[in-house]
Structure 1
Amino acid sequence: MFYDSLLVNENNNIFNGPEYIDIHKSISKEDHKFYKSYDFHKGLVVYNGQPYFDIKMKYDLLNDLLIIQFDNKNFKYISLNSSLISEFEIDNNRFVRLKNNTILEPYYKNGFFEVAYQNKEYSLYTKYKKVEKKKIINKSIYYTFKEHSVHFLNFKNKLNLIDSKKDLLKAIPGRESEVKTFFSSYSKLFKKNKQQFLIKLLGNLSANQQ
């Protein structure tokens, strides 16, 4: 449940927002709805144009919300206004809020995408989400969570969803032969870890750029 009441702190604008209360009771800390870890970790967030460092945060993948810890007598956790977040970094992974479009729309939610790979030619973005499944144990409700991810490649200012070999060939015109050769060598990696495959492919293409 997310309450509408606001916490006002005159000394730091980031500590303004609705209280965050986690209503999804999980069976264990290992099965949770957050990015990588149930626990809070210090990170960076650019909020309303202002960078804030060493902020205790975690990223709720179920609701696509960035949660920060703020211990006081009234509130403990705050859900930041997503529209005011331009980027954040957690566990050494950078996320940016992309502008919505027809390609991103089915996956957009609040618009946070991990910058998985980036150079002058290519930008690879990953969108994470978790879905919950309700379980009843001893008449109490618990939740389990399953993570999904989708990947988008920006090449020459054109964004494409990458879910297959065909998508890759369409997204990177002029490099079809190299993509096919790479795919033949690393097809198992594509099935096992699509993000790692794409990072490796883009690094290879950049290194072989004529």
Structure 2
Amino acid sequence: MRFCTILFFLVVQSCLSFSQTDSGFVVRDENLLEINKLQVLPETKFPISLYKEATAQSQNIYNGRLYYLYDARMEEHQFFGDRKWQKGVVFYDGQRFDSIPMIYDIVKDELIIKHFYGDHQMLQSEKVNYFLKDNHTFRRFEAGKDINPQMRTGFYDILYEGKSRTLVRRSKQRQEKIVDKKIIAFFPEKDFYYIRTNGSYHSVRTKKSVLKLFPERKRELRKALRDERIRFRQNRETAIAKIVATYDDLTKP
């Protein structure tokens, strides 16, 4: 604890020693500093890295509940993607954390991280703003506030973000069957797609339901899929994202 305190003051002194206009800090008065731009000078990188390393164990991201890895021996699993731990980014309780080993349980809609001691911890979902995993961006939306009241509060995969927006709610359900007098768990997956237009979200699944949202541009949108050789039934996500992105491009002011 004493070591962390000393490092903290080293960092503060290093930053204040560069509190001049050319270093990104502008003095407004005796007690207030306005940061115009953040620059970490070479002289301060080393004490900052030491401080981060020394205080890693006290970061609030590691204060979650323990997670029990259920059905670990089953062939199918409850996670998004695969069941391997992969490093990702999470914005948690107002702070961004990089290179965090994580898995996403889409049955329970919970983000699980691995503690540096090896324990599996379940983050408090209401404190997770977003997380990045496997080139996917998941953001937490609250029903009746960020999304329609009838949509479920939880994490949604942002498939496309522009003037319009396309979200995917990833889901699995745990089911059981008996094989050779043994109970086998399996996890059928189903995704739910939503497109936001005119300030409201619309549930879609078929090409018809998507094109119905843009009746005045149906011909151009169908052509966009043909030009890219995208078959809707074979590649639903790519097709939906392409349609919505094309519509936004066609209706630019």
**Coarse TM-score class (shorter-chain normalised):** 0.7 to 0.9
Per-residue deviation, 1:105? 5.4
Distance (Å, rounded) in 2 between the aligned partners of 1:127 and 1:184: 27
Give yes or no for contact 2:64–2:121 (8 Å, CA) kept in 1: yes
- Percent sequence identity over aligned pairs: 25
Q: Which of these residues, 108, 117, 120, is aligned with residue 63 of structure 1?
A: 108
CA gap of 1:162–1:185, structure 2 versus 1, over 3 A, is farther
- The Cα shift of 1:12 comes to 0.7
Show the counterpart of 2:71: 24
Which residue, out of 51, 58, 70, partners 1:11? 58
Residue type of the partner of 1:23? Answer: Y
Alpha-carbon separation, structure 2, partners of 1:47 and 1:65: 13
Work out the CA distance in 2 between the residues paired with 1:25 and 1:142: 12
Match of 2:238 among 173, 196, 207: 196
Higher CA-based Rg: 2
Shift in Å at residue 132 of structure 1? 2.0
Match of 2:99 among 47, 54, 59: 54
Equivalent-residue separation in structure 1 for 2:108 and 2:149 (angstroms) = 16
Pairwise CA RMSD of aligned residues? 2.9
Structure with greater proportional helix content: 2
- 1:163 aligned to 205, 210, 233, which one? 205
Alignment of 1:1-210 (within 5 A): 11-28=58-75, 31-72=76-117, 76-101=119-144, 108=152, 110-119=153-162, 121-137=163-179, 139-172=181-214, 174-179=216-221, 189-209=231-251
What is the rounded CA distance, in whole Å, between the counterparts of 1:38 and 1:26 in structure 2?
11
Determine which structure has the larger strand proportion and give its number: 1
Question: 1:98 and 1:181, CA in 2 relative to 1: closer, same or farther beyond 3 A?
Answer: same
Query: Structure 1 counterpart of 2:139, which letter?
Result: V
Aligned to 1:4: none
Per the TM alignment, residue 144 of structure 1 is displaced from its structure 2 partner at its CA by 1.4
Which segment is superposed worse, 15-24 or 33-42? 15-24
Pick closer, same or farther for the CA change 1:106–1:37 going to 2, 3 Å: farther
Measured against aligned partners, the alpha-carbon deviations of 1:161-207 in whole angstroms (never above 9, x if no partner) come to: 11234532443354344345557889982222321111122233344
Alignment gaps of 5+ in structure 1: 1-8
- Report the Cα distance in structure 2 between the residues aligned to 1:169 and 1:93, rounded to whole angstroms: 25
TM-score when scaled to structure 1?
0.79
Give the number of the structure with larger relative contact order, counting CA–CA contacts within 8 Å between residues 6 or more apart. 1
Structure 2 unaligned regions, length at least 5: 1-55
Supply the AA of the counterpart residue of 1:63. K
